[in-house]
Structure formats: structure tokens, C-alpha cells
Amino acid sequence: MLALIKKWEGCKLKAYKDGGGVWTIGYGTTFYPDGSNVKEGDICTMEQAEQWLQIHCNNLVFEILHEVKSTLKENQLAALVCFVYNIGMGAFKKSTMLKLLNEGKYGEAAGQFPRWNKDNGKEVQGLTNRRLDEQKLFLS
């Protein structure tokens, strides 16, 4: 799970604006464990970036398991953590994917990954590739 997130997020030790204009640092961190937002001028060490990634993923595991009422295999949970790390828990809670998972329709839920490949309404090849990786992990 962490390796897949690292692959797609990359790591930057100086805050930058992501494709959506959100200040980001480390492996796609947009807010710190204390809840404060990343802001212009922030810097971090590789150790901090790793720590923030681990904390965020641990929190996502808990949140996903709270929302998904059906049983998940380890690979499915790992794929969902990578997915939700990118789209956010709010979007996941409203998604057709979650609805299908809660109905036990795993195959149909897996089919939802490729639909989440847009940024500001435009298809992004990197997101298309990421979703295919997540889908492949989910189905493995």
C-alpha cells in the first residue's frame, strides 16, 4: 500500500501547489497530523514525510473499515487506502464504489476505479494509470 502511494505521489520536501491548487508536501500531504494545513514555505525532512504518510494511511484504514460494511481482503483494503489517499474520504463516502462495496458487489466496485481519472473535469493520464494500478491490486 505505501509503495503504491509513494509511486504515484512522489515526494517533495518543500511545499508546492498540486494540480488542484492545494498546498502539498511530502508524499501528497495536504494537512498535518495536528489538523493544520500545509502552507507556502513549509519544508520537511524525509523522515517527517514518511511519518505523515504512515499516520494518514493508518487513519484511512480505520475510516475505510468504518464505512465499508462488507468484508475486505488485505489487497482490497490496500487498494482502497491508496485510492482514498488521493480522492479524499469525503468523496469516497459519497461514491458509487462505496455503495457497491456495501452491497457486496466487489467486481462492480472494482469497475469504478477507472472513473476517477479526472482533475477539474479533464482526464489526466497519470490518474488513469494510477486507477488501473489500484484496480489491479484490488482484484489480485
Mean pLDDT (the chain, rounded): 96
Average pLDDT score over residue span 101-125: 95
pLDDT confidence bin for 119, thresholds 50/70/90? confident
Span 88-100, average pLDDT: 97
Q: Which residues are catalytic?
A: 9
The whole-angstrom separation of Cα 50 and Cα 30 is 14
C-alpha cell belonging to residue 40: 507556502
pLDDT in tens, 22-72: 999 999 999 999 999 999 999 999 999 999 999 999 999 999 999 999 999
Total domains, the chain: 1
Which domain range does residue 44 map to?
Answer: 2-139
pLDDT > 90: what percent of the chain? Answer: 93
Residue 23 CB-density burial (10 A; 0-12 exposed, 13-18 middle, 19+ buried): middle
Distance between CA 140 and CA 130 in Å, rounded?
Answer: 15
To the question of pTM greater than 0.95 for the whole model, the response is: no
Residue 24: which CATH number?
1.10.530.40
Q: Grid coordinates standing for 78?
A: 490496500
One-character DSSP codes across 3-21: HHHHHHH--EEEEEE-TTS
